[in-house]
Structure 1
Amino acid sequence: MLTDADNRPARTVSGVCHGTLGELYQGPLDARDRPEIAIVSFPVDRHSWVYFTPDAGAPTGTENLGAKAAKAARLFLDHYGLEPPPGRWNTYSDLDVGVGMASSTADIVATLRCLFRVFSLPYDSRVVIGVLSAIERADSVFLQEYALYLSGRHRVVHRLGTGIAFHTAFVAEPGTVDTAGVTPQLLRQYRRCAAEYERCLTDLLKGFAGGDPAAVARASTVSATLSQEVLPKQTFDAVLARREEFGADGVFVAHTGSLVGLLFARRPAPAVKGEVSAFFHSLGHQCSFAQGGYA
């Protein structure tokens, strides 16, 4: 293994990226003229980690990275005209795959952040966006704040700050969703319900501007309800019906995933957590609790 001058083992470097609990909003930016999918991702305090340890005797490949992360590494190296370094890659993630937690995007961003550190290069979000755009429609997890984001064009429309946070209880229903396959359905829905989406997005942006988590939660509930018309969740109606009883401020979903959950502006008491957990158990699911947002 490579060593520093004082013969200590070469230092492992890492890249870390948070995932999401779906979206607080997914809908059109403007439904009247060629709508596109706009999202406000809901960040969660769960992450993807990528580690690199220099080792002169190790191969220069990326065997331990997933397919998309390995492609991101190749694009990064090509962009900067660099050769892959000899060493060992390792990964870890506590993001579920295929449910709407942006696991693959987080893997890509964590890999790129690790590479910036490996080569002591300044972090450049433009490079990150360029790599993402060559691989997949993505969430805005490369940012450290909320944003209204055009996921297909990889464009930040509005930065929304870090002042909103929620406690959440959520479940992941079985199955996965092919985002590309349902895009035509989504765009038809956007045109059909243009006025509702416009009001929802306006209310959401006002909530962020005013630092009002209850207003953001109400708009999230509207967005989730609209999503039911295209990609329904089996448990959504039951969750929505019990929201007020549990003292939750709103409901969220992974619009093209399988997550359904409750938003609490204040930490729910242990007794409430017990009631919520029992409720989800009665629906056949084990719920999880996690902090969402940045504040």
Structure 2
Amino acid sequence: MSDGAVGTGRAFGTFGELLQGVLPEHDRDFLVTFPVDAWATATFQHTPDRPDIVVGPTTKLKSHRLVRLALNELGEGGGGRLTLSSELPEGKGLASSSADLVATARAVAAAFGRTFDEPAIESLLRRIEPSDGVMYDGIVAFYHREVRLLDVLGTLPPLAIIGHDEGGQVDTIRHNRLPKPFTARDKREYARMLVELAEAVDSGDLRTVGRITTRSAEMNAKLRPRGGFRELRRACNEVDGLGLVLAHSGTMLGILLDGDDPEQDTKTEYVRRNFATLGGEFIGHRSLSRARTGV
């Protein structure tokens, strides 16, 4: 057996979404990504004389499917070995599955000295599952069920997140199939918030971003109530946080802080100490800046 070239790809995850809901026009589900400095990495070695595809860990069945789709799209035969590693735990709402798939697509293409652009990656993922828009650098509005870009919003100044994991896992596929209980009024509010959020990202208005993320988390309670919401909202107020940010289809809820806040460590320790009765685990994350989103 001869081994072919090796390619590597990466993709960042997200801390939930800055905004997620349903828009009034055609009732289209959408989200706004919140890239964080946590990554999935894929390494692919082509085996030109064997059709087998071997993936490690073996549980990554979606990435197994994507390797074959990517090879076909590139017009390449054979198979290969894919190795995945990730800083993103599964079932938490951190875009772990989407990041795996995007990293896989990039690794397969890189093995042949080629690249997939973002629409090409969308097309590959669309054949597998709904997806976050982590194939795009920066913050984007994304039709996740359609795996299609809505708009590029840009980037924000650095943010820190005091994340709270309530424990367990959420099946994102099952969650996406739930009927959405949002009214026509709710959908109009989501549309207004999307416009406001785009303007806030463009101007770097972190207070408005925090207000919108908090409202989105609040509205999501119609679909999936989140334990500890009131307590974390109080914690956010006590440390003068910007707002709450939710993994709408996961287990994470976080307090947003200005990434340049000199009291960031003190505030994080205050929340951990004074709200330990919530149970679960507090985990810190940092957003990605413009300079660091490129792969």
TM-score by length of 1: 0.88
Alignment of 1:215-294 (within 5 A): 215-265=208-258, 266-267=260-261, 268-294=263-289
Select which of 65, 69, 73 maps to 2:67. Answer: 73
Letter in 1 for 2:8: S
Distance 1:104 1:23, change over 3 A: same
CA offsets 1:110-149 (integer angstroms, 9 cap, x no match): 1111111101113322221111100111001011111111
Gaps of 5+ in 2: 291-295
Select which of 26, 37, 40 maps to 2:32. Answer: 40
Match of 2:106 in 1: 113
Q: Distance in 1 between matches of 2:6 and 2:276?
A: 42
Select which of 122, 126, 133 maps to 2:126. Answer: 133
Contact 1:100 1:257 in 2 (8 A): yes
Match of 2:11 in 1: 17
Select which of 88, 91, 103 maps to 1:98. Answer: 91
Alignment of 1:137-152 (within 5 A): 137-152=130-145
Decide which structure has the larger Cα Rg and report it.
1
SS of the counterpart of 1:63? strand
Q: CA deviation at 1:225?
A: 0.8
Distance 1:179 1:131, change over 3 A: same
Letter in 1 for 2:53: G
Match of 2:293 in 1: none
Match of 1:194 in 2: 187
Q: Distance in 2 between matches of 1:141 and 1:56?
A: 30
Q: Distance in 1 between matches of 2:185 and 2:179?
A: 10
Distance 1:278 1:227, change over 3 A: same
CA offsets 1:204-257 (integer angstroms, 9 cap, x no match): 122112221221111111111111222111011110122111121010011111
SS of the counterpart of 1:187? coil
Q: Distance in 2 between matches of 1:67 and 1:90?
A: 12
Letter in 1 for 2:283: S
- Residue identity (%): 27
Q: Distance in 1 between matches of 2:218 and 2:106?
A: 36
Query: Number of residues paired by the alignment?
Result: 286
Match of 1:6 in 2: none
Distance 1:156 1:238, change over 3 A: same
TM-score by length of 2: 0.88
Of 182-191 and 207-216, the range deviating more from structure 2: 182-191
Q: Distance in 2 between matches of 1:140 and 1:118?
A: 23
Match of 1:49 in 2: 41
Letter in 1 for 2:210: A
Letter in 1 for 2:40: S
Q: CA deviation at 1:73?
A: 0.6
Gaps of 5+ in 1: 4-9
Matched, 1:62 2:57: no
Q: CA deviation at 1:54?
A: 6.0
Distance 1:122 1:198, change over 3 A: closer
Q: Distance in 2 between matches of 1:220 and 1:255?
A: 11
Distance 1:194 1:2, change over 3 A: closer
Contact 1:14 1:117 in 2 (8 A): yes
Contact 1:190 1:197 in 2 (8 A): no
Contact 2:160 2:256 in 1 (8 A): yes
Letter in 1 for 2:201: F
Q: Distance in 1 between matches of 2:52 and 2:136?
A: 29
Contact 2:40 2:99 in 1 (8 A): yes
Q: CA deviation at 1:2?
A: 6.9
Of 152-161 and 274-283, the range deviating more from structure 2: 274-283
Distance 1:85 1:243, change over 3 A: same
Select which of 46, 54, 76 maps to 1:82. Answer: 76
